[in-house]
Amino acid sequence: MDLPAVGLGTMGIDEPGAIETAIDVGYRHLDTAQIYDNEAVVGEAIESSPVARDTLTVATKLWIDRLAADDVRPGTRASLDRLGLDAVDLLYVHRPRGDYDPETTLPALDEVLDAGLTSHVGLSNFEPDQLATARAVLDAPIAAHQVEFHPYFQQDELLADAREHDYPLVAYSPLAGGKVFDDPVLDDIAYKYDSSPAAVAIAWLTSYDNVVTIPKASSEAHLRANFEASDLDLDEEDVARIESIDETVELYPE
């Protein structure tokens, strides 16, 4: 998929106003999920926006209790009803857990795609061996893989898989829950560019040619700052400094 460099992660957003503002700012990739309990909020923002639906990439994710073969289609339809849409552009398996069985879940996703309920099938929080299994079972190509990815949780193996198989890696929690604001390396780089640690973290992610990111924000100021961060052009030395941060923090472990 040709996804924008910066999209909007909506986890925790429970009012349509912030999403409407994001669309006004220029966001065209909106990411939600069944477990976020805000698909209706996203749908309300889409309906209220003057921006044409076909210019937006709308993604949602099937939770682990909707991954049995018989639950995939009704689960997808339930999400569409909440969103007020006939189809989503990208439908993910949120995690390969719970009712997930690659031999039955993935063919059901192919059927959902064939029925026109989604345009693309994606995966989220998969390991490399699970991605390989999915490729072997799915008829549809893996359109995107969404994972936690930030300076303290650098997904080298998954980045390599995305490059080898030519799909975008969608990085969630790019600001590491706010940890980037107190990092001396990011702060030093931000000073060099007259920018902010948050912008540097986003720019670092989008410096990879197959990585996009979906930071969450609610205020117009933060929405604009995140959206414009991909315009920051870090030099190779600064990319390498961030890559060399020797600290591991996983916000959303299995």
Best CA proximity match to 160, nearest among 117, 128, 138, 134: 128
Domains of the chain (ranges; CATH) run 8-178+207-232 (3.20.20.100)
Question: What are the beta bridge partners of residue 29?
Answer: 57
Nearest to 153 by CA among 130, 184, 132, 180: 180
Identify whether the C-beta of residue 5 lies closer than 8 Å to the C-beta of residue 33.
Answer: no
CA–CA distance, 60 with 58 (Å, rounded to integer): 7
State the pTM of this model: 0.97
Q: What is the mean pLDDT of the chain?
A: 98
Tens-place pLDDT, residues 140-198 = 999 999 999 999 999 999 999 999 999 999 999 999 999 999 999 999 999 999 999 99
Strand partners, 169: 145, 211
CA distances in angstroms from 78 to 13, 48, 52, 105, 119, listed in the order given: 20, 21, 23, 17, 17
Active site residue 167: no
> Which pLDDT score is estimated for 254?
79
β-strand partners of 148: 172
Task: Give the tens place of pLDDT for each residue, 54-85.
Answer: 999 999 999 999 999 999 999 999 999 999 99
**Which tens digits make up the pLDDT trace of 14-51?**
999 999 999 999 999 999 999 999 999 999 999 999 99
User: Catalytic: which of 27, 36, 92, 100?
Assistant: 36
Q: How far is CA 249 from the centre of its chain?
A: 19
